[in-house]
Structure 1
């Protein structure tokens, strides 16, 4: 095995080359994959009594990975859904390894064949009109932070933006006037546009006037933060 096809070098290249440069995945994906391999390396070290730097690809076989996934559920209380997220990260690594170390094709095929675990999907719940009104009414409109919170809640309730999407919004991402809408870079680095209702447009315009920020300023600006 050459130096650049050892497990440590492949894992490093997977993060720096595959994820960051080639696929340009989001920081959230990087963090999720990092956490997966931190857990896997700790488990392998305890089971094989070898430091991560001395692990080989041959040792990270399907039986060990299945045992690791079972360990997550049985001893750490990981849900089936989270187990599948960990497995997806491991699969992504081995798909990359398949291109870099084809001499491990059999091992890789076995790892990629590990099935995801089925789980019941709960129906998507939503707030009633009364609950929405109560949530918006809970904000203190006599305070700066209360007015900000009501504006962001109204925007989230109307558009369904995630918290991470909300806090990353800048005024240049919001288009007022005819065809008012908000643009955001969401999951999978996909840009989407969502139309805005008149009441949401009015709330955003009022908030923007109070904030007096530039187009590059974040919508969720914390008071006292630099523009």
Structure 2
């Protein structure tokens, strides 16, 4: 159905781009470039515009969606059935509804609280786990500073374990210290 296809594109975009809910609901059809250099232009916090790149699979989904919805360039990319832009609550409801459905086939989701912000967090963690520099992640997510991105570094124990594995332990031998003969002779001469 129409809303299911809209939701599929919306959720895929949210997970692959890490856009904020406010950014997703304000995307217009004209803000999407699906050709060479595919990206979405969105307005983030502080009315700052940024471009977020798109993978080819997502471009194909968006192109099919744009062809189906046949809206004006200034129309919202993800409209309600009546054609207006979705609200923040509507997006949260969409995420909850689809997580509830997914729980039936993926038991590990049971009891987990998945929100649009969790999808954004997942994008950041995915980038971090694939070695993307924190500065790039901060730019990607539209953070004012790299410090905001630090929360993702602290959140992932796996990254810490991998970092620890890269560092060699100091060459130390446990036990009691025994000074050599020259040091003992020097100390006795004092």
TM-score past 0.5 threshold: no
TM-score, normalising length: structure 1: 0.36
Which protein, 1 or 2, shows the higher relative CO under an 8 Å CA cutoff with sep ≥ 6? 2
Q: Which has the higher helix share?
A: 1
Q: Which has the larger radius of gyration?
A: 2
TM-score, normalising length: structure 2: 0.43
